[in-house]
Amino acid sequence: MTGPGLSALAILIALACPATADDAPRPHTYMAFGDSISGGTGSSDELGYRARLQAALRARFADAVVIDEGKPGADSRRGQRSIAAALERHRPAATLILLGTNDWADEPREPVSTANALRRIVRDVKARRSRAYLATIPPVNAGFDANATPARNEWIAHANTLIRALAREEDATLVDLHAALSAAGPIKSLFADGVHPNDAGYAVIANAFLEAITAQPPASPSLKVLRFGRLWDGTGRVIPNAMVVVERDRIRSVSTASAPPNAQLIDLSAYTGLPGLIDAHTHVTYGPSPGGNRSTLVNAFLARDALKKTLEAGVTTVRDMNAADYADIALRDLVNMGELVGPRIFTVGCGLRVTRAPFRGPTLPACGVADGPDEVTRAARQQLAAGADWVKLFASTGSGQDVSGFQTFTFEEMKAAADAVHALGKKLAVHSYGPTGARDAVRAGADSVEHATDMDDDTIAEMARRGTYYLPTIDHNRYYADNGDRLGYAPGYKERLEDFIRRNVETARKAHKAGVRFVMGSDAIYTMFGENTRELGWFVKAGMTPEQALFTATRNAAQMLGQPDALGVVKPGAFADIVAVSGDPVSDIGAVLSGVRFVMKGGQVVVDNTRAH
């Protein structure tokens, strides 16, 4: 063994009080990995070097442990697996990494190979939310070691150059152990022989680590840095090696610069970053299945699962499109208060409908029921008075297995709704399965049209001219076709739904070619949540590029919601709603459909499956 008792990989893990959450880092237990730092892999440590190092560490850190692991070059896979297991088990707040001269063998290729292995270890450390510290290689003791030749010292200098560069590139804190030992006194006074420190030498090593930890400003709980291999920022720009600085619930900066020293670093360099996605047509308050005797309150409680699965799909904002008893507004407010974990919710309250019930004597109309322009005006104002963000109007039949699309509200009624809503600074969404309801909705001034199929060329051209947003919601009929038996649909439902899907895709294809602005809306309902982004796959089938499909769930949706600078984009001042996916979604939309690994909403990590992949 050569080098001062550090000839193989050694890692010191610093932890401290127990965490309150299972995945939170802990700070005041210390651990070291390595072989000759502790006497050599497979050795009996008969000279007591492991105990000496452990004693030096424990004099400064409450619970120090030394574990043999092996060299990162020759033994990197075994060592990395063991390191990963220990990091997972202990969840350290900081990890200190040392290498000895034997880790940098004399072959010309070995230093680069060892640096690459070390880089993987550093990234693994940071992926587990631990701060990474890299130590330079100590000098050798020329008085005892025959290998301490000028050539050996050149190798040490070369290795330390690589370590310093690696620390800069990977945003690790450098611990200059070489300088600390050189400055502490004559080298021979710090070594028991040519390769292992004595008690004084180990004390210098432990002190250097202590100084590095205490000199490092504590990570601010309000300041986080997300490092991506690449970032698609929602504007069409792709930034390699992007660093996104998050302060509280907002994005502070986006660059390729180093992270602030007091920030919590979240290393997502294996992934592509995206803005949090927006699903602008959901039904989270309908419960897990139709019918039954569940109250609105029960369904609202059961919505927790739908909200959770929506986040797991990478969706951090939804527009929910109808709810009984204003349950959607209650859920929105609970999420905003921090009492419920879920995406941001834009609401419509009770959707406006024509009378559908028989006469049963004098009664007040149900929420949202209106006939004639005056009643429609009143009903629209009631939803806004209740706190709704939008108003929705059901302008045709069509839902579930029913794909009929017969127009219900007249043009005049739709115009009354649009005028009343716009007068109060809000927007109107119109549901229409069929073409005539969509035609009149566009002419009446609807801000978005949902589902519309078989629209004629004039209606499509008018949508493009006015900037009306189109949410075809193709995939929800796929969900109905897949689950019709469970939902109790009548015979022939699959054929009817598949025919409607075909016509829906063709209408979307025509609208896309005409320049209509699309927004992703899944129409997720019942157990469909978690499949929210499958709509993007249909958009690609209708002729969009993957990037154009991404815009429908980011920039376009944010513009429709009136939040172009806060949602659907990764830029300073925007909400810190950020997603990490495996793969390249700009070339393969499947990366979004099945590759979501990490989700941050408002600066808080709400989904993290990076460790499982």
Residue 1: closest CA among 43, 48, 54: 43
Lowest mean pLDDT segment, chosen from 189-193, 371-375, 493-497, 557-561: 189-193
Give yes or no for residue 471 having a pLDDT over 50: yes
Comparison of pLDDT for 612 and 285, the residue scoring more = 285
pLDDT at 30: 39
User: Is CATH 3.40.50.1110 the right assignment for the domain spanning 10-215?
Assistant: yes
Q: Smallest Cα–Cα separation from 568: which of 232, 252, 222, 337?
A: 232
Q: Tell me if 452 sits within 8 A of 507, measured CB to CB.
A: yes
**Quick check: 410 and 418 in contact, CB under 8 A?**
no
- C-beta atoms surrounding 304 within 10 Å: 15
pLDDT of the residue at 278: 98
On average, the pLDDT of the chain sits at 84
Measuring CA to CA, which residue among 31, 27, 93, 40 is closest to residue 64? Answer: 31
CA neighbours closer than 13 Å in the CB half-sphere of residue 516: 32
pLDDT at 378: 98
Classify 30 as helix, strand or coil: strand
Quick one: which H or E segment has residue 255? strand 250-255
pLDDT for res 470 = 99
Where in the chain are the domains?
10-215, 277-356+363-532
pLDDT digits (tens, 9 = 90+) for 238-250: 999 999 999 999 9
Going by C-alpha positions, the residue among 437, 322, 445 that lies closest to residue 391 is 322
Which of 106-115, 221-230, 590-599: highest mean pLDDT? 590-599
pLDDT at residue number 170: 83
pLDDT at residue 162 is higher than 60: yes
Return the bridge partners of 226, or none: 244, 266
Phi, psi of 315 (to 5 degrees): -95, 120
Give the pLDDT of residue 384: 98
Distance between CA 448 and CA 516 in Å, rounded?
A: 11
CB 246 within 8 A of CB 576: yes
One-letter amino acid of 132: A
Q: Which residues partner with 197 through β-bridges?
A: 191
Q: How many CB atoms lie within 10 A of CB 17?
A: 10
Q: What is the mean pLDDT of residues 278-298?
A: 92
Q: Is the Cβ–Cβ distance between 510 and 459 less than 8 Å?
A: no
At 95 the three-state DSSP class reads strand
Q: 219 falls in which pLDDT band (50, 70, 90)?
A: low
pLDDT at 42 over 60: no
* Residue 111 pLDDT class (50, 70, 90 cuts): low
Query: What's the pLDDT at 298?
Result: 95
Looking up tokens 């806060």 gives 566
Whether the per-residue pLDDT at 548 is higher than 90: the answer is yes
Instruction: Quickly name the fold that domain 277-356+363-532 has.
Output: TIM Barrel (3.20.20)
The string of pLDDT tens digits covering residues 317-371 is: 999 999 999 999 999 999 999 999 999 999 999 999 999 888 777 777 899 999 9
Q: Please check whether residue 126 is in contact with residue 89, taking contact to mean a CB–CB distance below 8 angstroms.
A: no
Higher pLDDT, 136 or 377: 377
> What would the two tokens of residue 253 be?
């900066």
Euclidean distance between CA atoms 345 and 280, whole angstroms: 9
What is the reported pLDDT for 234?
98
Top pLDDT among 514 and 203 is at 514
* Rounded distance between C-alpha atoms, residue 549 and residue 585, angstroms: 10
* Gap between the terminal Cα atoms of the chain: 36
Rounded mean pLDDT, 129-142: 74
Per mean pLDDT, which range of 20-24, 399-403, 405-409 is the poorest?
20-24
pLDDT value of residue 112? 65
pLDDT for position 16: 31
260-283 confidence digits (pLDDT tens):
877 889 999 999 999 999 999 999
471-476 average pLDDT score: 98
Tens of pLDDT, residues 592-609: 999 999 999 999 999 999
Instruction: Provide the phi-psi class of 273: left if phi over 0, else alpha when psi is between -120 and 50, else beta.
Output: beta
Q: Measure the CA–CA gap between 83 and 533, rounded to whole angstroms.
A: 36
